[in-house]
Structure 1
């Protein structure tokens, strides 16, 4: 799960001009400003996953239950794995916000996408013969990205225009 704001033509042309000018201060400033434009999206994604409700039908009468076998808070763990990267060169120049699966425990790596679908199936306390389904508010990732994409695009365009003016 990731979102990228890429300025294919304008940003690439601007990067060539920045390299030719050799002004490291302008490049660092541009990278910092693009990162700042992406930070509200990252924060909103973290808030969104932390506030997503996971509900279940509950257990039926006579069924046993108990505390979770893990002390790991699911939504906080996913929120902590949301990252930003900014590249100033190459075809991938721009900002990228994504869930870093390497930061998640092995058994939770598919969980952000599953929660985004609105349906999470998992074995009951690790017993692979018994499965439970939990429901979540679907599209926590997609809705948040959709809400922030126009603002991010405007902000990156503003940064590119400012840098272009400074180079002229």
Structure 2
């Protein structure tokens, strides 16, 4: 799964240096908060898209029965809860939206990437001799990010302009 980064490295690095030199802690906190606010609608949209993602099965064969689930939490909710934002204003400034694999159950680390591709192949209830395919809307992550990118770039540019004006 690809992470999303909001950055204009040259401008952000220059402003970060100027903020440190000016000692403007209040300005830095404001910039941090506003960049985070620019990324939050993307995170919210990614979370709601994941929770509503259509995942279809190839169907159960005749005479086949189910079994206990290996996880007690629903898959979509588990992945949606693992979507995170981080904002940095120091050495490598910018915002990042990503899926925190550490918050996913063991064995689920690659599932968000597989769902973004559109096909999830997994063993049936842990039986590694029987595998099944499930299908999801392909590129759900990429399409959501593409919808939000122009707005986020405008917001970050506005924040940078405001900070530059306050430093002058």
Task: Give TM-score scaled by structure 2 length.
Answer: 0.96
Counterpart of 1:95 in 2: which secondary structure?
Answer: strand
Deviation at 1:64, TM superposition (A): 2.1
Counterpart position of 1:15: 16
Counterpart position of 2:81: 80
Deviation at 1:113, TM superposition (A): 0.3
Counterpart position of 1:127: 127
Counterpart position of 2:47: 46
Counterpart position of 1:31: 32
Q: 42-51 or 63-72: which moved more?
A: 63-72
CA RMSD of aligned residues (A): 1.0
Q: Does 1:96 align with 2:112?
A: no
Aligned pair count? 167
CA distance in 2 between partners of 1:43 and 1:166 (Å): 30
1:25–1:42 CA distance, 2 compared to 1 (3 A): same
1:24–1:158 CA distance, 2 compared to 1 (3 A): same
Deviations 1:85-140 (A, max 9, x none): 000011x2100000000111111111110100000000001000000000000111
Counterpart position of 1:164: 164
Contact (CA 8 Å) 2:68, 2:125: kept in 1 or not?
no
Task: Give TM-score scaled by structure 1 length.
Answer: 0.96
Deviation at 1:69, TM superposition (A): 4.2
Deviation at 1:63, TM superposition (A): 1.8
> Which residues of structure 1 form unaligned runs of 5+?
none
Deviations 1:39-74 (A, max 9, x none): 000000001111111111211212222453432110
Deviation at 1:2, TM superposition (A): 0.6
> Which residues of structure 2 form unaligned runs of 5+?
none
CA distance in 1 between partners of 2:17 and 2:71 (Å): 50
